[in-house]
């Protein structure tokens, strides 16, 4: 894990643009706004994440925790040193890889996770392993890891693919399929995204 490099921020930038869309006018965006305000006003503050990670962890803490998980054989280095890889075992067809990497603010404190899911046995001709099917499997997996409210669909003409969001207190998860293979996820601390709602 010492070779793990800083992740490129292309996907983070795309989700920043998505965040701007979420506050635009529209029926589902209004639902989004109402949900954000309700959850942030609830006083429910969630800092704990998967793998004993926390909002507010330093970048150094993130690497140290990943190194310990790697030594235990629980995770491994992901593709191009841009992600940490966690294997989700299943059958020869349903086994998948979950990739993740911390999102850090200017103070190098973790404010979210950039994630991906993909079936290990994916091929272009296997219909049931395509990303539009995996999307709902990934959502079920995330609900087990992060229980609470359900995902709801965001409807906006500027969104190219069906995009879902789940908000629990200050924790937001946005998910959508990207291409035929991958499902992209961004988990964010809304206290960082919308500081006026703190």
User: Which residues in 52-132 belong to E strands, given as ranges?
Assistant: 76-77, 84-88, 96-104, 110-119
Predicted local confidence at residue 14, as pLDDT: 55
Strand partners, 118: 97
DSSP one-letter code for 67 = H
User: Domain ranges in the chain?
Assistant: 10-197
Range with lowest mean pLDDT among 33-42, 48-57, 154-163, 169-178: 154-163
Please state, for a pLDDT cut of 90, what percent of the chain lies above it: 71
Quote the radius of gyration of the chain (alpha carbons, Å).
17
Q: Which helix (H) or strand (E) holds 176?
A: strand 171-178
Q: Which helix (H) or strand (E) holds 168?
A: strand 163-168
Please state, for a pLDDT cut of 70, what percent of the chain lies above it: 83
Predicted local confidence at residue 72, as pLDDT: 96
pLDDT tens profile 7-53: 544 554 555 555 555 555 444 447 899 999 999 999 999 999 999 99
Beta-carbon contacts of residue 83 (< 8 Å; ≥ 6 apart): 7, 99, 100, 101, 114, 116
DSSP one-letter code for 19 = H
Question: How many C-beta atoms surround the C-beta of residue 17 within 10 A?
Answer: 10
Mean pLDDT of 109-125: 97
Question: What length is written for the chain?
Answer: 198
**Joined tokens for residue 183:** 């499902």
């Amino acid at each position: 894990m010492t070779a793990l490099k800083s992740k490129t921020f292309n996907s983070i930038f795309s989700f920043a643009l998505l965040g701007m869309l979420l506050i635009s006018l529209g029926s589902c965006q209004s639902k989004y706004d109402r949900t954000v305000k309700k959850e942030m006003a609830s006083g429910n503050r969630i800092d704990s994440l998967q793998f004993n990670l926390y909002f507010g962890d330093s970048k150094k803490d993130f690497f140290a925790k990943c190194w310990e998980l790697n030594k235990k054989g629980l995770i491994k280095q992901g593709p191009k040193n841009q992600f940490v890889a966690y294997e989700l075992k299943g059958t020869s067809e349903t086994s998948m890889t979950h990739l993740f990497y911390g999102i850090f603010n200017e103070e190098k404190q973790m404010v979210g996770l950039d994630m991906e899911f993909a079936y290990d046995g994916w091929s272009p001709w296997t219909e049931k392993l395509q990303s539009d099917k995996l999307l709902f499997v990934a959502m079920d997996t995330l609900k087990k890891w992060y229980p609470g409210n359900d995902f709801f669909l965001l409807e906006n003409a500027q969104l190219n693919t069906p995009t879902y969001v789940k908000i629990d207190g200050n924790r937001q998860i946005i998910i959508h399929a990207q291409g035929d293979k991958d499902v992209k996820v961004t988990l964010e601390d809304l206290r960082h995204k919308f500081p006026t709602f703190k």
